[in-house]
Amino acid sequence: MQAASEPTVPAGPRRDAPGDLELVRQFINTADLAPGEDELRNLAALRAWLRERQLIGPREELAPGDLERALAVREALRDLLESRSRGAVDEAVLRSLNVLPAGALLRIAFDGDGTPRLEPVASGLDRAFAELYAIIRCAALDGTWERLKVCADHGCLWAFYDNSKNRSRSWCNMAVCGNRAKARHYRERKRPAATREGSKA
């Protein structure tokens, strides 16, 4: 599968994920929270997005309710990446990720040279979910899944790949989100103690 280019990327260096994991990153980033834009604005847009990335076949159709399922899984993946940094994943997030794609079944198939691979059983959105989940599983095994993060700026939450040596990157773009967070923390430290205490009350 080839990852297609995405139309909206924050200014500064890109944080693409390696291989097919980039498809998962792009799926999460179909919602650009800062300007409030969503590529998956309707069922036709979702179908086109999945077909362009070969996550469903050219003749496969989506069913009523698939848009809502896709958006719920997307946001659950975003929430999962965000909550991982805090060390605890919300049970509702796990329930969404485990229940909504319940039909996204996989089987083992062998290529011509005998190499095993995971292959979706279902069609339509469940096939797309199965493809994305298989990618996540493989990324978990090779250690790249834990490097997929969302920006620590809660007004951004853009998914990016942390390619730093110590896996310590917190922002998708240090020049924008990182500096904004640092400026916010600086202002907070400079506020009188009484004002800070009053804001917490």
Reported as a single tens digit per residue, the pLDDT across 45-100 is: 999 999 999 999 999 999 999 999 999 999 999 999 999 877 788 899 999 999 99
Whether residue 14 lies inside any domain: the answer is no
Binned at pLDDT 50, 70 and 90, residue 3 comes out as very low
CATH number assigned to the domain comprising residue 157: 1.10.3300
Residue 149's beta-bridge partner residues?
A: 160
Whether residue 15 lies inside any domain: the answer is no
Whether residue 9 lies inside any domain: the answer is no
Report pTM. 0.81
Whole domain around residue 193: which residue ranges? Answer: 21-200
Whether residue 60 lies inside any domain: the answer is yes
Reported as a single tens digit per residue, the pLDDT across 106-142 is: 999 999 999 999 999 999 999 999 999 999 999 999 9
Higher pLDDT, 21 or 7: 21
Whether residue 102 lies inside any domain: the answer is yes
The total domain count for the chain is: 1
Whether residue 49 lies inside any domain: the answer is yes
Whether residue 74 lies inside any domain: the answer is yes
Whether residue 154 lies inside any domain: the answer is yes
